[in-house]
Amino acid sequence: MRLKDKVCLITGASKGIGRGLALGLAKEGANVVVNYNTDPQGAKQVEMDIESLGRKAISVKADVSQYEEIDLMVKKTIEKFGRIDVLVNNAGVVGLKPMMDITEEDWDSVLDINLRGVFFCSQRVAREMIKRQVGGKIINNSSIWSWAGCPGLAAYCSSKGGMTLLTKVMALELAPYKINVNAIAPGAIEVEKFTHADPNLANTWSSYIPWGRIGKPEDVLGTVVFLASNDSEYVTGQTFYVDGGIVCQLKVPPSIDEYHKNVK
């Protein structure tokens, strides 16, 4: 077990990639804090699934766009486990809308969760890591759309592009404390909110992915385990594309706008 007894806090872990990471890190020996905002039942199920693996878990509600809720989430984690070894900033929203239709509220709702939330979660957790003087790991869940633009995703692309440079800056500032900061950039991943919008999602994307199939949450897990483990001790400030080769060519389905229309 590469993460035996590590304490991992994962934001947005009640479903999708976050759920897959929570269970996968638990299988590697970690105790997990399952953060959620709007899905208490999903978070509780993930918590119980982790405990069935013989690991400890708690589910904690917090809107990562609100600093007070971040602070309370971290305090509850410290009360339960005494420390945080790994933070995975996974919570995020898409907010697809044409550029000319985006309102201030639309823009703020995406940036507040996807970028502001990542910064303040990282800052708050880093303070706890620095107190312990034993280092730590921060992993940001970015996207291939941090590398290229996509029509209808102005706010999302901006948030993920900002995350790339934020990852580098945090890596520089936290390196003296031996806190590694890295990001993963998944491509098309088969998760609930996307398959609900397009039941044919896998077939739509597969012919555009060099690897020949759409990704699944477990495809992201190996890279995250590496970044959370001691194996990545000399790796910081990097973004790892976990996309089946999409960014090598960035050919996307012409119907991308169609199946994104219902994804909020």
For the chain, how are helix, strand and coil distributed in percent, rounded to 5? 50, 15, 35
> Does the annotation mark 259 as catalytic?
no
Tell me the three state secondary structure of residue 172. helix
Q: Is the dihedral of CA 67, 189, 260, 41 positive or negative?
A: negative
Nearest of 186, 142, 144 to residue 166 by alpha carbon: 142
Please count the CA atoms within 13 angstroms of the CA of 65 that sit on its side-chain side: 11
Spatial separation of the C-alpha atoms in residues 57 and 256, rounded to whole Å = 37
Spatial separation of the C-alpha atoms in residues 25 and 217, rounded to whole Å = 12
Strand order from edge to edge, sheet including 86-89: 57-61, 31-36, 7-10, 86-89, 136-141, 179-186, 239-242
| List 36, 67, 156, 234, catalytic entry | 156
Torsion of CA 7, 236, 214, 43, to 10 degrees: 20
Torsion of CA 167, 71, 109, 32, to 10 degrees: 70
Angle 108-114-118 from CA coordinates, rounded to 5°: 120
- Helix (H) / strand (E) containing 25: helix 16-27
Residues noted as catalytic: 156
